[in-house]
Structure 1
Amino acid sequence: RTAKNIVFFIFRGFSVLRSISLFFLHKYIDITDLNGETRSKSQFVNAGKSDVLLTVDVPENIFPAQLKENIAFEITNLNRTPIKGKLSVEWYKLEYPGRIVYPNMFGKPEKYNLTKTEFIKHFPYDDYENDGNPEGWAAKNISFIQHQKVEQGSGHLEMKNIKLNSGYYKVKFKALNEDQDSVIVEKTVRVYENASENILLAREWLVAEKTSITPNEMAIFRFASVLPNARAYYEVYYKDIIIKKVWLNLTNKQELVSIKPEDGFIDGFAVQFSLIQNGKIYQSMNVINIVDESKELDIKFLSFRDKLQPGEKDVWKLKIANKKGEKQMAEMVVSLYDASLDDLKTMSWNKIATPKYNYNIFDWGYNLNIIENGNEIWYRNRYRGYYDIEKRDYERINSYGFDFNAYNLKYNYTQYLAKIEANKIKSLSEAATKKLATLKASGLVYGIVTDQSGYGVPGIAVRVGKKGATTDSYGIYSIDAKIGEEISVTFIGYHRATTKAGAEKRIDFKLIEDGQGLNEVVVVGYGAKMRKDVTASVSMLREEVAASPAGEGVRIQLRGTNSVAYDQNGAPTPNGQRGAIAVEDNKVYDFVSIEGYDPKTDTYIINGKPVKKPKIVPRTNFTETAFFYPQLKTNEAGEIEIEFTIPQSLTRYKMMGFAHTKDFKTKTITKELVTQKKLSISANAPRFFREGDTILLSAKLNNLSGKPIGGFAILELRDAITGKAISIIDKKETVQQKFQLENNGNQSLKWSLVIPSGIGAITYKLTAQSENYTDGEEMTVPVLPYSVLVTESMPMNVHGGTKKTFTMDKLLQSANSKTLKNQSLTFEFTSNPVWYAVQALPYLMEYPYECAEQTFSRFYANSFATGIINSSPKIKAVFESWQQTNNGEALLSNLEKNPALKSILLEETPWVRNAENETERKKRLSVLFDLNRMTYELKANFDKLENMQFSNGAFPWFTGMQEDRYITQHIVMGIGQLKYLKLVDEKSFPKLNPMLFKAINYLDAKMVEDYTLDLKLKRKGFDYQTLHYLYARSYVNQKNNDAKYIKAVDYFLKMITAKWIYLNPYQQAQTAIVLFRNGKEAEALKVIELLKQRAQHSDEMGMYWADNADGYFWYQSPIETQALLIEAFEEVAKDSKSVEEMKIWLLKNKQTNDWKTTKA
C-alpha cells in the first residue's frame, strides 16, 4: 500500500510462462471494510509476449458511396485498454481467374485426374483448386500504402484519397505500440467502382448494398445471374401482404434493384429473391430496417441535485422535446432505487420498438432429390397454405440402423462426461480438498452438503442437539458430535436430512428439493428469493396468546425496511409518524469532555454533572425503492415535476425513466445520486440472531464534515414486540463508546451481545453525536429459537348418525420428550362441508381471459349463485350480513381473529398468508352473491356470449379465431345442465333457446360428417369428441328427424356399446349417462357395475378410483371425473349410498387443494 485507498500488487513466479505467446490469468480480490463487510471481485487478465491488439471495422463489400467514407480501427493492449501506436495499411489487388465457378460442395479433392484445361472444358462452372475462393488468388504488387499515428487508441482511415479499381483486394493492417510490439490483421474485401458490374463469384448473384434506410431512402440490391442469361423473380412484402411481384431477365452484369418504402411502412419490410439455374436453387430473404430518427425524444433535467441528505424532500423538473427542441405531450414512468440492487440483478430498460414482423411465412420451401430418401424435387410457397404435396416414394436401401449422423451420439456422450467432470471440479475444488484434508485430522465430524446436482450448498444449518454450525462457500461443515448422536441438516427449500454419528468422521449429505412450499418469500442475505409455486394447500395453524403485543397495528418489517416507531418513553407511535431527518437541537455540547451516559435518566455526565441528551431521531426507513411513478404526464409546457422524499439509507440511488408519446416516440434516461451526512453511523447487523448466541455487533462511523471531529456513540436495545428496553450487552462493556475521526476518516466500534431466549425480535438503535453533528440508525432483527415449530394435523371424518373415537398417539407420547414443548391444540369442525365447494364459485367469475369458455363460465357461475340465493333464505342472510358489516370483522378469517397471528413472527409464516386468502375468498363470495350484481352480470355475459356465436351456430375459442367444435360442445353441455337443474330463467333470456338450437344444429351436422367419413374410410370406431358430443346432446330435447342423423346416432351408440370397456373412468361415466338417456338402461347398468367393482373404499377418503389421475388430455382430470361419476351413479343406478361415499372424496379434495380450472 503506497497511498491512501490505492493498493499495488506484485506478481511473481511467471518466468515459466515467458515462452508462451499468450496466456490468461484469473485474479480474485476480497476487500473487507472496518465493519466486517466483504466485497469480492474477479477479473481475467491477458498476458503475452506482444502486448498489442488491433481491431478493424472493414466491410466485406465496399460500394461506390463507401469509397469516400472512413474505416474505423482501434489499437489496444491485450486487456482491451486503448494505447498509443502506429498503423500502416497495404492494399494488394488480387488476380481474378477469369471465370465464375460454383463452390465445391465436397471440398478440395486430394488429387485431380484431369489437368486444369481438361477439367474446365468438361466442367466450365465447377471449381478447380479453389478458383472460387479469393483467399487463394495470387496478389499483384502493392496498389496503395497508408500510414497513421494514433494517440488515443482509436482512429479512422481515410478512403477518399485512395484510388481503387473494381475487384478483390487483400488489405494488410499492421499496428505497432510504443514498445515496438506488432500485430498484423489481413482482410479480403470486394470493391465495386461502378453502379453496375459483372459478377466475379457465384455468391455475388445477390449483393445487398443498402438494407438500413430512412423513410425517404431506397433499399438497394445488386441482382445478377451466374449463367449468361437467366430468368429471375423477386417479391416485396409488408406484414402479411405481398406488395409487389417482379420477373427479371438477368445476365452476368448486375441489375440494380432499388425499392422505396411506401407510405405507412413502419419499421421495415422484406424482399425475397429467387433464381434457379444449372440444377441449383438460389434464394434469399432480406429484411429492410427503416430507421426514423424523428421518433426519438429528448429528455433534459431542468433541476436535479446529485447529493441529498437521508430523508430529505426534493423536486425534480424535466422537459421532454423532440429532436428539433419542440415540446412534446408525453407520458413517463420513473423509478428511483438503491443502486446496490444491481449487484443482485442488473436493472435496465429494454429498447422499446415496434415488434419486428416475422417474414418466414413467405419463405419458399424446397426439397432436393436426395439419394438417401428417394423423394422427387418439389418447390412451394409456404404462405399459400399449410398443406403437403403428394410425393412418389421409391425403393430405399435398408441401412439396418446405420446412420451417417451417428457422430451426434458420440458428441452427446462426450458432453455428458464433461458435465460429470464439471460437477466434480465444482464440488471438490483445490481449496475444498485442502480444507477437507485439514478437517480430517481435527477429530470433528465433517463433510460436504450438496444439492441433487452435486454442487456444494453454502449456508446450510447443521445441528447436533443444541450445537450448531453452517456450511461454508464450498458446502463444507464441521461439528463436534459423539457416536450415536443425531446430526440434522436443514435449509429452506430442501427436505430435512438426518443421520447418526459413527466411527467414520466424514459424513456427506445430498439434499432433496422440497416441492411443498407455498410461494414463500425467504430473505437470504441481501435479497429475497421465491420458493417453488405449488397449488396444494397446507394445514393452517391457530395460536392462542394472552394479549395483543404492543405495536400490533404496525407491521414490523425485518432487516432493511421500516421498523415500528417508538416515542421517547418506549411506547409505539402511530403508524407513519416518523421524522424524516435526524433532528439536531441548537445547544453546543463539549462531547470530548463527556465522562459517561446514564440510560435510566437518558443523560450525559459532563464535568461530573448530568446533562440532558440531545434529541436524535434515528433513521428508520431503509426501503430499497425510493419511488415508482408509472404514469407521469407532461404539462402544457412539456414539463414533468417529480416530488419525493428520499429514504434514509446512506447509499447511491439510481434513477431510470422511460417516456413515450401517443405516436410512439420514445426515450430512456438514467441518472444517479447519493445520500450522505457530515457524520454517519451504520451497523453491520446480521440477518437474524439465535437464542443463546454471543455476537459481536459492529458499527462504522464516517466523517465527511471537512475537519476532524470526536464524540460518543450509544447503542440502545429493545424488545421489538413489547417496546421495553433490554440489557443484553456484555457486562464488561458499556452502552456508550468514544470516537475520534479524521477528516474523510472512518472508525469501527463493536459491542458484544448475549442473545436471550423468549424474545421474538430485537430492535437496536445506534446514535452518534459530535459537537455539531448527529446521526442515528434503527432496525429490527428477528431472533430464531433453538426449537422448531412443527404442526401436525389429523383428519377426523364422522358420518352422520355415527360415533367415532380418535387417538392422537404423538400427542400422548410427547410427555416422554425432553425437548418437545406443546404450543397449542386446535379443533376445527365444519358442519356443512358444501361450503368448501361454494367457495370455488368466485374463481369462475374472476378468470382473466375473455374467451368463449370463460365468458360462459361467468354466466354459469352467476346462474348457480342466483339459484343458491333463491333456494336458501339463510344463505342469503349470511351474505347480506357480510356485505353490511361496517368494521369488516365478519370478513376476517378465524385465523386472523387470533391475536397471536398479528405478532411479528407469525406474520412471516405461510399459514397467515393462507388466512389472508381465506378472508379474501369471503369478500369475493359476498360480492358474487349480490343479487343486483348477479342480475347485471348474467345479462352482460349472455350478450357477450351471443355476440361471439357464428351464423352457423358454432363458437370460437377467442373472438377472431375459427369455429371450435369442442368449445361449442362445452357451452351446449353447460346450458343443458343449467336447464336440467332449472337454474336459468328462460323468460329473462328469450334468446337462450335460439342460441342453443343453432349450436345443436351445427354439432348435429358435424356428427353426420364424422359418420359419413367413417363409412367412406371403412373405419369402425369413434373418438372421444364424439362421446363428448353425445353427452352434451343428451341434455337437450331438441329432436332431429333427419334420416342420416338418426343412422349416425345409432351407429355411434353401437360403437360405444361395443368398446366402452376400453375407456377410462371419465369416459365410462359419460357412456353410462349417454346409454341411459338413449334407452339402453341394461347396458348402462353394466358400465356402472364395472365401475363399482373397480372402485376403492376407505373411511377417510370415501369411494374413489385409483386410475383417476391427472393427465395431458382434457378428459384426464380427477375433479371433473369424480363429479361426472357421481352424476352417473345418481342418475343411472340410483345408488345413494355410493354417491354419498363419492362426495366424501370430492369434498376432501376441496379441503386440501384449490381447484385450478373452470371445469373443476
Structure 2
Amino acid sequence: DKSLDKKFEPVFDYTVYADVVDINGETRTGETTVSAGYKGLMLSTAIPTQVTLDSLKSLTILTQNMNGEFEPAQIEVGISALKIEQRLLRPRFWERPESQVLSKEEYTRRFPHDIYAGEDDWENWEKEKNVYTAKDSARTKGEFPLKGARLPAGYYEILVTAKNEKGEEAKDIRYIEIVDEKASQLLRPQYLWSRRSESIKPGETTSIQIGTSAPNVYLVKEEYREAKKGQKQDRFGLQVTTTQQTLQTGKTSFPITATEEDRGGFGITAFMVRDNRFYQFQDRIEVPWSNKDLQVEFKTFRDKTLPGSDEKWSVRIKGNKSEMVAAEMLASMYDASLDQIVDHDWNRPYIWPYLFATRSWDPGANFKLENAERWEKDEEEKYLVKQYDELINLANTRGGYEMKSMAPGVGNARAMEKMTVNVLDAKFSKAEDITASEGYYNEDGDGVTDTTKMIQNPKDIPPPSIRKNLQETAFFFPDLRTDSEGNIEFSFTTPEALTTWKLQTLAHTKDLAFNQS
C-alpha cells in the first residue's frame, strides 16, 4: 500500500492457502500467514517495571523477523538514571490543560503541591547521566546478561538498540524502578505509599507497611472480621476495631499476628487527609484453612499401562503437617476422551467460611461510609438428571447414515463427533478378484522392488486376538479407607481400549479435611 508512509514502518499480512492431492487422491488443505514490511527486524523486550535491589541480573530481549523467527542482530543496552521530582504532588481534580499561562516557576510558587505538566509521571523525568552500557549478540531465547551492573535504588530509563546484518535498526525504551526494601525513607515524595501483607497461618506474624513524605499525618486504621455470635457488629455484620496514629515521614510497619479465629481471613482499611486530598489503603490478610488440607501421595502409580493388564496401586494419605490420619477416599478412572463431550471434575465442597467483605470510605459529606459488601457463596444446587434409552429416529437418516452432531474444529480441520450408520435392506455384490500393483515405497526406499518371502500356508498365521473389554470406566471405588498406617491399596484390570485414562481422587476425614486431585 503505497499510500502509507514508510516512516511509520507499516506491516502487511498475506494469507497463503494450499491444497495438496496425494497419490491416493485425498486432498489436504493448509494455510499460513506471511508478513512483509519495509524493515525485516522486529525488537521486543520483557523488562519488569519494578525490581528489588541487586536482583537486576539480566534482561529478556528478542530479535525476530516479520514472521516471528529469530533474526541475528547486535544488541546495545544503555541505562540512564532519571532525575527524581522532589515536590510532593497531589492528584488533579481536572484534566491536564493543553497549554499553560503561568511559567513553571510561578505556578509552583502559587501551587506548590499541584502538577504543572507531566512531572507526576516518572517516564517524563529528565535523564541525569548514563550509568551502564553493554553490547552483545542476540540469543534465540532472549537472554541478555547485565555483567557488572550494580545500580543503586532509583528510577532508570533502559534504551535497547538492535541492528541486523543488513544494517536495519530497531529501538525500544523501557522504564524501571529499583527498590531498596530495607530503606526507611521513600524513594520519591508521595502522600501515601503502601506494601501489602503476605499470607500467614495462625500463630504467624506478617505486616503491612504504610509510608508518607508529609509530616504529622493523622491515620485512621480499621480491622474488620466476620462478627461472631454475641459480638458487637456494624450493620453489615462485621466486627470493626478502629485505631488512630500520627505518622511521620518515612515508612511505618504494622505487625499483624493471626489466631485460629482469623481463619478465612480479615480485612484492613486505612485512610488519611492531607492538603485537601483523601487517601485510602485497603488490604486482605489471608489466613487460609490449611488445617483442612490433606496430602495424597501415590506410592504405586503407572502413567502407561497395557490393555488388559492387572494393576495394584497404593496411596498414602497424611494431614497437612504430615501427621497420620484416618481418611476415606473416592477414586475413579475413565476414558479421558469423554471429556470432549462434557468435562467432569470433582471439587472440594465449600464448607469453611471465607471473608469477602470490603469496607471503603468516601471524603464527601464529612467522610461518610461509602459502601460495605458482605458476600457469601451459596451452596451449589444439587439436582439429578435421568436419561432413558430411546429408539433411533429413522426419519432423520440421510443416504444411509445419520449425523448426530458436529464437534468444533480447529483451523480448516473438520471433525464429526458421532455418526450412526443405518443399513436398510442393503444388498451387496461379491467383488471381483483384482491384482495389487507394486508399492510406490519399498522396504529400503531405494526405488527398487524388493522380494519378500510369503507364508504359503495361511493356516500357519495365528489368528489375531480380538479385544473384548472396551468399557469406558476402568474402576469406580466410592469408599476406600486407610489402614493403620494411612495407606490405601486397590486393584483393577485395565480395559482393552487404546486410549488415555483420566484418574480422579477425592479424600476426606471425619473433621472435613479434603484433598482433590
TM-score normalised to structure 1 length: 0.32
- How far is 1:641 from its partner? 1.8
SS in structure 1 of the partner of residue 491 of structure 2: strand
Q: 1:593 maps to what in 2?
A: 457
Q: 1:273-352 maps to which residues of 2 (within 5 A)?
A: 273-290=270-287, 297=295, 299-304=297-302, 306-309=304-307, 311-321=308-318, 329-344=326-341
Q: 2:53 maps to what in 1?
A: 67
SS in structure 2 of the partner of residue 187 of structure 1: strand
SS in structure 2 of the partner of residue 218 of structure 1: strand
- How far is 1:127 from its partner? 0.4
- How far is 1:254 from its partner? 3.0
CA distance in 1, matches of 2:511, 2:70: 42
CA distance in 2, matches of 1:123, 1:190: 30
The 1:207/1:367 distance shift into structure 2, 3 A limit, reads: closer
Q: 1:230 maps to what in 2?
A: 217
Q: 2:155 maps to what in 1?
A: 168
CA distance in 1, matches of 2:297, 2:207: 32
The 1:199/1:269 distance shift into structure 2, 3 A limit, reads: farther
Q: 1:33-72 maps to which residues of 2 (within 5 A)?
A: 49-50=40-41, 53-56=44-47, 58=48, 60=50, 62=51, 66-69=52-55
Q: 1:255 maps to what in 2?
A: 252
The 1:350/1:231 distance shift into structure 2, 3 A limit, reads: same
SS in structure 2 of the partner of residue 656 of structure 1: strand
Q: Does 1:622 align with 2:477?
A: no
CA distance in 2, matches of 1:43, 1:338: 34
SS in structure 1 of the partner of residue 115 of structure 2: coil
CA distance in 2, matches of 1:29, 1:339: 34
More deviation in 101-110 or 117-126?
101-110
Q: Counterpart of 1:94 in structure 2: which amino acid?
A: L
Q: Say which of 480, 491, 495 aligns to 1:643.
A: 491
After superposition, what is the alpha-carbon deviation per residue over 1:253-308, rounded to whole angstroms, capped at 9, x for unaligned? 33233333335433533211111233322222212335798856352332436121
Q: 1:145-224 maps to which residues of 2 (within 5 A)?
A: 145=133, 153=141, 162-165=150-153, 167-172=154-159, 184=172, 186-189=174-177, 191-192=179-180, 194-198=182-186, 200-202=188-190, 205-208=192-195, 210-213=197-200, 216-224=204-212
CA distance in 2, matches of 1:156, 1:352: 47
Q: Counterpart of 2:271 in structure 1: which amino acid?
A: S
CA distance in 1, matches of 2:418, 2:197: 48
Q: Counterpart of 1:111 in structure 2: which amino acid?
A: S
- How far is 1:628 from its partner? 3.5
Q: Which has the higher helix share?
A: 1
The 1:273/1:22 distance shift into structure 2, 3 A limit, reads: farther
CA distance in 2, matches of 1:34, 1:110: 70
The 1:184/1:37 distance shift into structure 2, 3 A limit, reads: same
The 1:356/1:26 distance shift into structure 2, 3 A limit, reads: farther
Q: Counterpart of 2:368 in structure 1: which amino acid?
A: Y
Q: Does 1:94 align with 2:91?
A: no
CA contact (8 A) 1:70 1:156 kept: no
**Which has the higher relative contact order, 1 or 2, with Cα contacts under 8 A spaced 6 or more apart?**
2
CA contact (8 A) 1:199 1:205 kept: no
Q: 2:355 maps to what in 1?
A: 357
How much is the aligned-residue C-alpha RMSD, in angstroms? 5.4
- How far is 1:77 from its partner? 7.0
CA contact (8 A) 1:297 1:323 kept: yes
- How far is 1:655 from its partner? 2.3
Q: 1:292-691 maps to which residues of 2 (within 5 A)?
A: 297=295, 299-304=297-302, 306-309=304-307, 311-321=308-318, 329-344=326-341, 356-360=354-358, 362-364=359-361, 366=362, 368=364, 379-380=368-369, 382=371, 526=417, 593-594=457-458, 618-659=466-507, 669=517
CA contact (8 A) 2:159 2:171 kept: no
Q: Say which of 243, 255, 263 aligns to 1:266.
A: 263
Q: Does 1:132 align with 2:130?
A: no
CA distance in 2, matches of 1:333, 1:321: 16
CA distance in 2, matches of 1:30, 1:335: 45
- How far is 1:617 from its partner? 7.3
CA contact (8 A) 1:462 1:471 kept: no
CA distance in 1, matches of 2:510, 2:157: 51
The 1:208/1:67 distance shift into structure 2, 3 A limit, reads: same
CA distance in 2, matches of 1:162, 1:55: 20
SS in structure 2 of the partner of residue 340 of structure 1: helix
CA distance in 1, matches of 2:278, 2:88: 16
- How far is 1:125 from its partner? 1.3
Runs of at least 5 residues in structure 2 that lack an aligned partner in the other structure: 1-5, 228-237, 375-394, 408-414, 422-453
Q: 1:968-983 maps to which residues of 2 (within 5 A)?
A: none
CA distance in 2, matches of 1:94, 1:175: 23
Q: 2:233 maps to what in 1?
A: none
The 1:468/1:668 distance shift into structure 2, 3 A limit, reads: closer
CA distance in 1, matches of 2:348, 2:63: 32
CA distance in 1, matches of 2:220, 2:471: 63
Q: 2:424 maps to what in 1?
A: none
Q: 2:3 maps to what in 1?
A: none
SS in structure 2 of the partner of residue 120 of structure 1: helix
The 1:33/1:252 distance shift into structure 2, 3 A limit, reads: farther
CA distance in 2, matches of 1:352, 1:36: 55
After superposition, what is the alpha-carbon deviation per residue over 1:360-410, rounded to whole angstroms, capped at 9, x for unaligned? 2x333x374xxxxxxx5651275699xxxxxxxxxxxxxxxxxxxxxxxxx
After superposition, what is the alpha-carbon deviation per residue over 1:483-513, rounded to whole angstroms, capped at 9, x for unaligned? xxxxxxxxxxxxxxxxxxxxxxxxxxxxxxx
What is the percent sequence identity of the aligned residues? 24
Q: Say which of 234, 243, 247 aligns to 1:246.
A: 243
CA distance in 1, matches of 2:400, 2:418: 28
CA distance in 2, matches of 1:664, 1:146: 58
CA contact (8 A) 2:79 2:131 kept: yes
Q: Say which of 109, 113, 117 aligns to 1:121.
A: 109
CA distance in 2, matches of 1:261, 1:35: 72
The 1:592/1:145 distance shift into structure 2, 3 A limit, reads: farther
- How far is 1:43 from its partner? 8.9
The 1:149/1:221 distance shift into structure 2, 3 A limit, reads: farther
SS in structure 2 of the partner of residue 363 of structure 1: strand
TM-score normalised to structure 2 length: 0.64
- How far is 1:164 from its partner? 0.5
Runs of at least 5 residues in structure 1 that lack an aligned partner in the other structure: 1-16, 369-375, 386-459, 475-523, 529-557, 560-589, 595-605, 670-1160
Q: Counterpart of 1:645 in structure 2: which amino acid?
A: T
CA contact (8 A) 1:97 1:137 kept: yes
Q: 1:15-30 maps to which residues of 2 (within 5 A)?
A: none
